[in-house]
Structures are given as C-alpha cells and as structure tokens.
Amino acid sequence: MALHPEIAKIVASLPKGDHSAPDVAGWRAAEEGRVPPLDERTPRLHAVEDATAETSAGNVPVRIYTPVEADVYGLLVYFHGGAFFSGSLDTHDHVARSLAKETGLKVVSVGYRRAPEDAFPAGLEDCYGVVRWAAENGEDLGWDGRTLAIAGDSSGGTFVAAVAAKAHDDGFDRITHQILYYPSVDLDFDVDRYASLRENAEGYGLETAGLKPHNSFYIAGGADPADPLVSPIKREDLSGLPPALVVTAEHDPLRDEGELYASRLREAGVDVTVSRYAGANHGFVQNFSWIPEYYRVFEETAAYLGRR
C-alpha cells in the first residue's frame, strides 16, 4: 500500500538532503529540542527513575520504567536507535514508556555511549553490560527471574542482535526474547544486495543514499561491516539464539535485510515471528506511534511476549 497519508505529509515537508554526513551537534540538538517537558510525557506510569548501572564496561546511565505497582516484574532492556550517533534516553522516552505500559514489564532503557566520541565497541559493550547488570541485580529490580527480553529500534536493533550473539557465545542464557524493530543488520553499504534498497531509495524519509553517511561515524570509529557484531547478518551460525520478533516497515530501505535475517534465524532453528507494517517507513516506532495503526506495534510486542 502507499505510504500512510499522515506520514506522507510529514515526509513531503522535509528538506531534501544532500546525503553528506550529518552535523552531529546540530542533529542531536534538533532531536532533543522536540522532546516534550517531563510533566507532559506519556503514557503515565507508576514510576520513572534515572539510575546508574555498574557494569564491566563502566558506569552506564539507565532509565527504569515501572508500569504499575507490583511485587515482581519481567524485565525488558531497551536500546534506542539513532544510527549509533544520535538518540538518547529522552528522545526515545515515549517508546520505553509505551513498552512498559503495554507489556507490563519493567523497562530498563540504556544510555549507551555513542559515536563519534566513543568508538566501537563502546556502545555495544554498554548495552551488553546493562543486560548482565539487570540479571545480576534482579532482586533490587524486582525481577521475577523469568522474562528477560531485549528490544531495540534501527541501530538499537543492531545492538539487540549483537548482544544476543555475545550472550550466547559467553554462555549467558538468561535472555528469553529478542525484539528487533526495523533493524540495521548489514552495514556494508557499498553493496546493493537488497531489493528494498532500490524500491524505497527515495521519498520515504530515510533514503538509501543517506545510509552510508549517517553511519559513517560508527564505521570511522572502527566498526568493520564484515564483523558479525557490526553486521549481525554475517554471523555464520545463528543457532541457539533467543526467540525473536522482527518488525519491518513496508517503505524502508532496510526492510529486506531485516526479513532475510529473520529467515536465517528460522533456518538455524530459532523460533521467529516476522511482522511487516504496511504503509510505514523507517523510524515509525519512534516517530509515528501516535498513529493508532502503528501504536499497535507495542500491543503486538506485548502479545508476543505474553504467549511465550
């Protein structure tokens, strides 16, 4: 189907990009400038608090979202998107809130280190470290000892796949689910191997020609696209990884790599659910979840977690 009309109106208003590397400070400031004041943020939850996770990678800022008052909770550790250089606890606050509200899980959002100030693998190590910290401090978090899900959007989805792989290789088997929203799983932008890169090349917000410059800070910081921890689709053996929900968007250049990754997981014996959102573009979980058809992604996530 065509791009959703509400999304199309906003995409049409965007200035045409020159596909150069973004101005990091300016981009971040513009994002933060769109964050509503604290007392206007929704949905409302029982508690939202900032904390510090003491991990093997160092101290990592986190924000903990408690949906309702209860004795115990399942946990969901969330990694925000932003092409590894942008996004923050604040810009994705509404995503974490919605995940907590709909799933009923306590959500731990990770303020990981970003490029270009901190080179690969700093951000990945922060994300993995917080997952381990959550499990090790389960009593303090009120963890029920059962559900420990990880979720992320776009580059946060990259971290989800890489964290799941690192945990498997380390013998850390507490992760119960991995949830990837339109993940970037193949950072080899010099190779045109997916039809969606051509079908959705222009006119849908994220453009194919912009992928390489937007990820240039991460790559320049030592993230080798041939490394499976950078491009998870390049991992040869995907067996033994946690069950996965992979969400893609119809009008996203990254659509096909996400769906191919899901297929490879399934071929390796991993239990996988794939859900493509019609009329949606890259970033819809963050940018367009105010549209009822796309807020449904949080409800679908809750249903997925609830049936396992």
Catalytic site residues? 154, 252, 282
- Are 144 and 174 in contact by the 8 Å Cβ rule? The answer is no
Neighbours of 38 (CB within 10 A): 9
> What would the DSSP string read from start to end of the chain?
-PPPHHHHHHHHHSPPP--PPP-HHHHHHHHHHTSPPGGG-SS--SEEEEEEEEETTEEEEEEEEE-S--S-EEEEEEE--STTTS--TTTTHHHHHHHHHHH--EEEEE----TTTS-TTHHHHHHHHHHHHHHHTHHHHTEEEEEEEEEEETHHHHHHHHHHHHHHHHT-----EEEEES------TT----HHHHHTSSSSSS-HHHHHHHTHHHHHTT--TTSTTTSGGG-S--TTPPPEEEEEEEE-TTHHHHHHHHHHHHHTT--EEEEEEEEEETTHHHHSTTSHHHHHHHHHHHHHHHT-
